């Protein structure tokens, strides 16, 4: 599954983006994602949980 299939807004810039795509694919199947890098996953229709946001 590529980043384009998941609806990422921009092309990958580093190999790290492949890991983002893998994490997003698992999160899509579960419906939620916990991350501090929420901006990379916005627009996927996921519940994004950022436990560091209000620290």
Q: What's residue 7's pLDDT?
A: 57
Opening angle at CA 23, ends 19 and 29, nearest 5: 150
Residue 1's pLDDT is what? 47
Assigned token pair, 47: 């519940």
pLDDT at 19: 82
pTM comes to 0.56
Give the pLDDT means over successive 10-residue stretches in the chain (55 positions): 54 64 88 88 87 79
- pLDDT at position 55: 65
């Amino acid at each position: 599954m590529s980043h384009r299939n998941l609806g990422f807004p921009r092309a990958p810039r580093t190999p790290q983006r492949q890991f983002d795509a893998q994490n997003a694919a698992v999160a899509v199947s579960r419906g939620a994602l916990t991350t501090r890098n929420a901006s990379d996953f916005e627009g996927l229709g996921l519940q994004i949980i950022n436990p560091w946001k209000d620290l």
